[in-house]
Amino acid sequence: MVYPSIQKLTPKNIYLKKCFGSKPFRLLDVGAGNHSASKTKKLFPNCEYHGIDLDKSYQNDPSDFDAMTAFYEMDLTKLDYKMIPDNYFDFVRMAHVVEHLKNGDEVVKHLIPKLKQGGCFYIEYPGARSTKLPSMRGTLNFYDDPTHVRIYSVKELQAIFESGGCRVISSGVRRNAAYLITMPLRILGSWARGRKLQGNIFWDLMGFAEFLFVQKIR
């Protein structure tokens, strides 16, 4: 669970805030379930939101689709993205999607052309370190989630972005200050509600996830 007060401080939203603030921008959100459209538009009302997902009904409701300019229901592994405009988006966001794709390297390569020159791409995924972490409900070890199919690395993805005309601005293990500071409160909140602790509470402490934040320069 991410409490509303720190929703704007999630890594994927921090970079949107840094790039655009309150200015209008076009976002392609790769993995648009869990009410992502409504949450994003609440924080960034001037965002033109486009979402991609395998199944449009993955924790979305009519208010989420009302918040979208477009929704692309597709299997990313097919690499057929012609319905998505090229050279159009100011930001592509792909958080915890690539690890579910057997050909995620090709998926990333085919998504880069959707960015305008000067646009940015944020990708986040469980790194190799996650394979050595304890198993926990809610995923703390890579293999806790049976839909995880492939481990990617900063080095591998950096090469793909650079070959696609991008430069890496920052990358590495995700260590989100807001999540680290509020971790005790999140633990206490789970206990107070009688819920079992979820592995994602410990992601930033244990170094579960890696990320790259890149800009398209040509």
pLDDT in tens, the chain (218 residues): 444 445 667 888 999 999 999 999 999 999 999 999 999 999 999 999 999 999 988 889 999 999 999 999 999 999 999 999 999 999 999 999 999 999 999 999 999 999 999 999 999 999 999 999 999 999 999 999 999 999 999 999 999 999 999 999 999 999 999 899 999 999 999 999 999 999 999 999 999 999 999 999 99
Quick check: 103 and 77 in contact, CB under 8 A? yes
Q: What is the Cα–Cα distance from 218 to 215, expressed in whole angstroms? A: 9
- Domain residue extents for the chain: 4-216
Provide the CATH number for the domain formed by 4-216 in this structure: 3.40.50.150
Quick check: 86 and 26 in contact, CB under 8 A? no
Predicted TM-score of the model (pTM): 0.94
